[in-house]
Amino acid sequence: MAINKHHTPMLDQLESGPWPSFISGIKRLRDEHPEERINKMTNDLLGQLEHSYETRKGYWKGGTVSVFQYGGGIIPRFSEVGHAFPESKEFHTLRVQPPAGNHYSTDMLRQMADSWEKYGSGLVTFHGQTGNIMFIGTDTEQTQHFFDEINDYGWDLGGAGPCVRTAMSCVGAARCEMSCTNEQKAHRLLVNNFTDDVHRPALPYKFKFKVSGCGNDCQNAVERADFAVIGTWRDDMNVNQDEFKAYVGRKGRQHVIDNIITRCPTNALSLNDDDSLEVNNKDCVRCMHCLNVVPKALHPGDDRGVTILIGGKRTLKIGDLMGTVVVPFKKLDTEEDWEEIVELAEEIIDFWAENALEHERCGEMIERIGLVNFLEGVGVEVDPNMVNNPRESSYIRMDGWDEEAVKWFDRQAEAS
Amino acid sequence: MADMRDPIETGCPDPFQYMHPMMRRNFGLWAYHEDPRPGVLLHVAKNGDKLWTIKAGTQRILDLFTLRTLCQIADDYSDGFIRFTIRSNPEFFVTEESRVEPLIEKLEEAGFIVGGTKNSVTTLSHTQGWLHCDIPGTDASGVVKSMMDELIDEFKVSEMPNRVHITTSCCQINCGGQGDIAINVQHTKPPKINHDLVANVCERPTVVARCPVAAIRPAMVNGKPSLEVDEKKCICCGACFPPCPPMQINDAEHTKLAIWVGGNHSNARGKPTFQKLVAAGIPNNPPRWPEATAIVKRILAEYKAGARDWERVGEWIERIGWPRFFELVELPFTKYHIDNWRGARKSLNASAHIRF
């Protein structure tokens, strides 16, 4: 049956130009897909989108849709102009958790495509800003059917609403020589420990885990995760002097001085007269710059672990916050180590759930109560790695100084 | 409900079952990488195994035809495996150098753009916009399509001083990220309140609590319980709109775009940084947003011409100074550039350091 195609003069202008066009893709679903349901649904979607382009307004409203026994994982969308575009008047997105590191076989992608074709609009994104596979566009009834089908072959919903959200991790050890930890294990252990908190939103607000295998932080964990895990090392970095000298030979000493030696943020590098590299590892902050420039010669050390930063988030409500160091270094070798990082996450989420205001991110709570109160709440000792510099204000009552100093020396003695 | 199926709460799946066998085999055993050409990475394992990764740009909002095309290319050229980067670029894998060029040709023939590695302008990351968001001030996919049409040449080569991450966001408060350049919605007028609906739709104490500047208070309007906004205090951020849709913040004329620069998530050289405001009042002009794109291109041109190798946009500006930056990109410096939010004093110049 022929459908009445909406006139879309504005969207049509997004079909020209060399970059692939999402409008052309949606039109193919409208014009060429064998399923009439998909033709009609995408036709009305285009109609509503054109209406948005004309009026510069959005016309989707949220609501309450989930699947049996879950409270979240779906982004419900009901059209405010559904009378004009009835075939897409319900257009919910399912957030589905990707495998850690975003690896797919084509067999699996095709199986998901087949299921989505049966129940959805035929639009999908790998991945949304939180890291979910976004299956965009289905109605309330089909939401359950689609979920049942993909859940049977191994896929589960991610988070939406005030809950633990879908986590993210970099490609890491699977394909990167700078990987300092098992990113995928950290990702899955952490988020899968909180499956109940992912599916049943009952926290003050969202809580995100992100894992990057080194300080390059390809997952934007420090900026965007409530719980950021960043790979690092604490022994000397590995230097292959032969490779480094070969690099100097190829590029010249001036290039090496301008691009490596003088770019070290803590002046920890020196170029020797024989073109080898001298590293003052005590001053090195593991920023990754020199390793990035000469990945063939410079690598992380062998005593690897992670730094954990807490409290990163975007603007709402008090402004953007970076995560800040709560654990400067944590080994992740033994099963006990891995249990400890999960326990720390549990402590933090419990304390935050108990003490945060409604709609307050973990970093905002820390901003409100102060880092020291937070650390005491979750049982972590203070450490000079947690600050850029000690306090500059004298407005603080310090009559507990002697006891605190003893604690420091006791901890030092214990550690040595 | 008796016939409802219980969910299987498996959470995040194990990736090893979907991972290219060479990555599985060399997990944690990679030695180094090289960049043989734009869009291609070569990783060499400690045992000498070589894996070429070919990266492509797509429209991100994928129709199933396009997804199946990607699958077909992966089956024919990439052993049946695909990975997606954080910026939604699919990556294909080959284990023999001779198979790199045919894969690139096939991807380009199918309309995908090979590039986005190393010091290129990689794919803009984007949010949902008018296509699917409930609070969008603008579209996202359309802005990205329009800009990538103009920036595509810089995606296909690696000629920038360092990598450039551009992000967009269709509201002021939520899900867009930090970028070397960010194009974000900036509202310029307080919300327009439909007082007939507030009492029934909004949980009023929640809305009052959501305002960052305490500008909202409960009020009786026309004999009905509603909310009112102190428009002198209101910063027009739109935070009240999600919990209270009758407080419409989006406006065809007064919702504008702003451009921010210098966000950087990496720890390389300096610590991670947030983006800083450079331009606002830019018209939200579908379907192609030419005014915003023109400013982005100007910033990129000056960055490309003036930055040293490895300097990200923010580092380049730190070195040349903000006065010079505003001069170079021919943008006005206004009172709005001077921060007055909490912690603002840290952004003021408390020194005699002035460039002449």
The CA distance from B277 to A115, in Å, is 44
At A293 the pLDDT is: 98
- What is the pLDDT at residue B174? 72
Query: Taking residues A258-264, what's their average pLDDT?
Result: 98
Judge whether residue A290 has pLDDT over 60: yes
Q: Are strands A123-126 and B62-63 parallel, antiparallel or unpaired?
A: antiparallel
Backbone φ and ψ of B341, nearest 5°: -80, 175
Place of tokens 């991610």: A158
Q: CB distance B81–A11 less than 8 Å?
A: no
* Residues of chain B numbered 311-340 and touching chain A (CB < 8 Å): none
User: What is the CATH number assigned to the segment(s) B192-247?
Assistant: 3.30.70.20
* pLDDT beyond 60 at A45: yes
Tell me the two tokens of residue A3: 């459908």
- Beta-strand ranges (E) seen in A184-303 are 209-212, 227-233, 238-239, 269-271, 277-279, 298-299
B49: CB partners within 8 A, 6+ apart: B22, B25, B26, B95
CB distance B196 to B305 below 8 Å: no
User: For residues A267 and A283, what is the distance between their CA atoms, to the nearest angstrom?
Assistant: 8
CA B71 to chain A, closest CA, distance in angstroms equals 5
* Residue A1 predicted with pLDDT over 80: no
Tell me which of 3.30.70.20, 3.30.750.24, 3.10.129.10, 3.30.43.10 is the CATH number of domain A238-299. 3.30.70.20
Q: What are the pLDDT digits (tens) for A2-37? A: 789 999 999 999 999 999 999 999 999 999 999 999
Average pLDDT for A363-382: 98
**Whether the predicted model's global pTM rises above the 0.95 cut:** yes
Q: Do B138 and A56 touch (CB under 8 A)?
A: yes
From chain B, pick out residues whose CB is under 8 angstroms from the CB of A230.
267
For A137, phi then psi, to 5°, come to 105, 90
Contact B342 A69 (CB under 8 A): no
The structural architecture, per CATH, of the domain A168-234+304-380 is 2-Layer Sandwich (3.30)
Q: Would you kindly state where each structural domain of chain A is located, as residue ranges?
A: 1-160, 168-234+304-380, 238-299
Token readout for A4 is: 């009445």
**Average model confidence (pLDDT) across chain A:** 97
Asked whether residue A178 carries a pLDDT value surpassing 60, the answer given is: yes
pLDDT means per 10 residues in chain B (356 residues)?
Answer: 86 98 98 98 98 97 98 97 97 98 98 98 93 95 96 98 96 85 97 96 96 97 96 97 96 97 97 97 97 98 98 98 98 98 94 96
Q: pLDDT digit string (tens) for A132-163? A: 999 999 999 999 999 999 999 999 999 999 99
List of residues 6+ apart from A396 with CB closer than 8 A: none
CATH code assigned to A1-160: 3.30.70.2500
Tell me the C-alpha distance between A262 and A276, whole Å: 15
What is the ipTM score, two decimals? 0.96
Measured from the Cβ of residue A339, the count of other Cβ atoms closer than 10 Å reads: 12
Same fold, A1-160 and A168-234+304-380: no
Which residues does chain A have within 8 Å of residue B19's beta carbon, measured at their own beta carbons?
101, 103, 174
Interface test mutation site (partner B, options A68, A126, A313, max chain B beta carbons within 10 A)? A126
- Give the closest residue to B34 by CA, choosing from A250, A292, A286, A173: A292
* Residue B175 pLDDT: 77
The CA distance from A378 to the nearest CA of chain B, in Å, is: 26
- Domain borders along chain B are 15-114, 129-188+252-347, 192-247
User: How long a stretch of residues is chain A?
Assistant: 416
Predicted local confidence at residue B176, as pLDDT: 76
SS3 of chain B: helix, strand, coil, percent, to 5: 30, 25, 45
* Partners of residue A168 on adjacent β-strands: A210
The span from the CA of B332 to the CA of A162, in Å, is: 40
User: How far is Cα B237 from Cα B232, in angstroms, rounded to an integer?
Assistant: 13
Q: At what angle do helices B322-329 and B313-320 cross, to 10 degrees?
A: 110
Token pair 């004329």 is found at B253
Could you give the CA distance from residue A40 to residue A3 in angstroms, rounded to a whole number? 7
Return the CATH number of the domain spanning residue range B15-114: 3.30.70.3340
Task: Give me the CATH code for the B129-188+252-347 domain, please.
Answer: 3.30.413.10
DSSP letters of B223-273?
Answer: TEEEEEE-TTT-----TTTTT-TTEE---TTTEEEEEEE--B---SSSPPB
Nearest CA-CA partner of A41 in A123, A110, A113:
A123
Kindly give, in sequence order, each residue whose CB lies less than 8 Å from that of residue A180, ignoring residues fewer than 6 positions away.
Answer: A213, A214, A231, A232, A233, A300, A304, A305, A306
pLDDT, position A92: 98
The total of other beta-carbon atoms located within 10 Å of residue B352's CB is 5
- pLDDT at residue A280, rounded to an integer: 98
Q: Do B9 and A195 touch (CB under 8 A)?
A: yes
pLDDT (tens digit per residue) in A62-87: 999 999 999 999 999 999 999 999 99
Would you state the pLDDT for residue B147? 97
Which residues of chain B are within 8 Å of residue A293 when distances are taken between CB atoms? 310
Quote the minimal CA–CA distance from A187 to chain B in Å. Answer: 8
Same topology for domains B129-188+252-347 and B192-247, yes or no? no
Distances (CA, A) of A221 to A215, A324, A400, B296, B306: 10, 11, 36, 26, 30
